Chain A
Amino acid sequence: MNSITDVLEKIGQQSNLKYSTEVDCELQLTEMRVPAVIRKVLIANDKSELAQLSDNKKDIICYVSAPAKEHEMPKDDNKPAEDEPKQGEQESA
């Protein structure tokens, strides 16, 4: 077992780890040959420590949706858009 994401993938796929108490989880992770330092962070649920261990310092943006298409957006000056959006044409998905 070499990377944190391999370990996380395994954990994500194993129902027995979902029921686990802390002790069981520790044992399972040891059996998966997870290094002690990662084991500790995983059990403590420490997201920022985990990100550091995996060299992952990026701020992730998760917005992929917009309230309207460009020409349908209400203007910044709060005047209504020239062509008000018709039902079913709005771009929210």
Chain B
Amino acid sequence: MNEQQGSIVCVGVGMTLGSHLSPLSRSYIEQADVVFSLVSDGLVEQWIGQMNPDVRSLQPYYHEGTSRLVSYNAMVAAMIAEVKAGKKVVGAFYGHPGVFACVPHKVIEQARALGYYGKMEPGISAEDCLFSDLAIDPGQFGCSHFEASQFMFYKRIIDPSAYLILWQVGIAGDLSLSKFSTGESYRQVLIDILSLHYPKDHQVILYEAPTLPIHSHRIESLPLSSLLHAEIHGYTTLVIPPCQELTRNMEVLQRLDAIDKDHKNIKLV
């Protein structure tokens, strides 16, 4: 299919103002005909606003009481309309535009399906900051990530010997997708699910990366049961360290050992 004139590029501006934006992403923002921004701090929004004469915030699409799916679809439609008008459109999203963010994925997919150019440019996500600030190497014990509500709505396989990271924990359990925060009764359900796999006194971590360079991160360790009354914001991520040691898979180890022995025998022959 021949590509038509309009285009969409979704870039990540990272988490911290000034520190994380890549030169390429900045250039995309500066060169765009129109920029749509969705960031997590008013000052970051202002900062992006200075990089291009036509920057439009996606914040007005959120309405408490309206499903976020409706808001997300409207955001995608607004961007696609400009792409169809033949413009070079850029979506500037905080963090990494493809990490726990359906809007950038959707708009690129739709633009491509219509024959337009669509691309995603990575950014530094909350996850990246979390690994640095909490000194976690996801390769050490393994690490699974879930959107907190999805984790509650569906039966998932939990591995207590790996890290478990829950995103959007501030609205955990919201079936209506229309709340900006959920309260203690919803959180109690999450604690109950987690308590099936982790002791109630297991230390979990509430993490917040700084969005302004003058601030520091929040790392609060607390027992799982204390999550109920903890201060949790829209920008808080819940980190649950492993509570079990890795268990050897003896069957696989024996098979691998047998292969090693076979190889040694072949060499001897």
Does A76 reach chain B (CB closer than 8 Å)? yes
Report the bound CA distance from A64 to B214 in whole Å: 25
Q: A9-B18, A64-B101 given as contacts; is B43 within 8 A of A4 (CB)?
A: yes
Contacts known (A13-B19, A64-B38); A76 close to B150, Cβ less than 8 A: no
| A90 to B69 CA separation, bound complex (whole angstroms) | 14
Instruction: Determine whether B6 belongs to the interface, using a CB cutoff of 8 Å to chain A.
Output: no
Cβ contact within 8 Å between B17 and A67: no
Contact of B50 among A5, A51, A64 (CB under 8 A): A5
Q: How many residues of B are counted as interface, with CB atoms below 8 angstroms from the partner's CB atoms?
A: 49
Are A65 and B175 within 8 A (Cβ)?
no
Which residues of A are found within 8 Å of B105, using beta-carbon distances? 93
Nearest B-chain residue to A92, judged by Cβ: B147
* B215 touching A64, Cβ below 8 Å: no
- In this complex, the member of B167, B171, B175, B214 whose beta carbon has the largest number of chain A beta carbons within 10 angstroms is B214
**Bound-complex Cα distance A5 to B45 (A):** 10
**B50, A62: Cβ atoms under 8 Å?**
no
Contacts of B46 in A (CB 8 A): 3-5, 54, 56
B16 at the interface (CB under 8 A from A): yes
* Whole-angstrom distance between the Cβ of B131 and the nearest chain A Cβ: 17
Inter-chain contact count A-B, CB under 8 Å?
A: 130
With an 8 A cutoff between CB atoms, is B188 at the interface? no
Q: Are B42 and A92 in contact (CB under 8 A)?
A: no
Q: By the criterion CB–CB under 8 Å, are B153 and A13 in contact?
A: no
The prevalent SS among residues of A at the interface is: loop
Q: Does B116 contact A (CB under 8 A)?
A: no
Q: Say whether, besides A61-B234, A62-B235, A92 and B146 are in contact (CB < 8 Å).
A: yes
Determine if B215 and A45 form an interchain contact, defined as CB atoms under 8 angstroms apart. yes
A70 part of interface (Cβ distance < 8 Å): yes
Task: Give the chain A neighbours of B149 by CB distance below 8 A.
Answer: 67
A8-B212 contact, Cβ under 8 Å, with A13-B18, A64-B102, A93-B102: yes
How many Å lie between the Cα of A5 and that of B149 in the bound state? 35
- Interface readout for A79-93 with B: 1 if CB under 8 Å, 0 if not? 000000100001111
The reply to whether B102 and A63 contact each other, CB–CB distance below 8 Å, is: no
Which of B69, B98, B234, B235 is A93 in contact with, Cβ under 8 Å? Answer: B98
Q: In the complex, what distance in Å separates the CA atom of A21 from the CA atom of B234?
A: 31
B141 at the interface (CB under 8 A from A): no
A36–B43 alpha-carbon span in the complex (Å): 19
Q: A5-B17, A9-B17 are in contact. Are A76 and B103 (CB under 8 A)?
A: no
Q: Given contacts A54-B42, A64-B93, list 14 more A-B pairs with CB under 8 A.
A: A8-B43, A8-B213, A9-B18, A11-B214, A12-B213, A43-B214, A50-B212, A57-B42, A60-B39, A60-B45, A64-B72, A64-B103, A67-B147, A68-B153
Binding site for B on A (CB under 8 A): 3-5, 8-13, 17-18, 42-43, 45, 47, 50-51, 54, 56-58, 60-70, 73-76, 78, 85, 90-93
Chain B residues proximal to chain A, CB less than 8 Å: 16-20, 38-43, 45-47, 50, 59, 62, 68-69, 72, 93-94, 98-105, 146-147, 149-150, 153-154, 167-168, 171, 175-177, 180, 212-215, 234-235
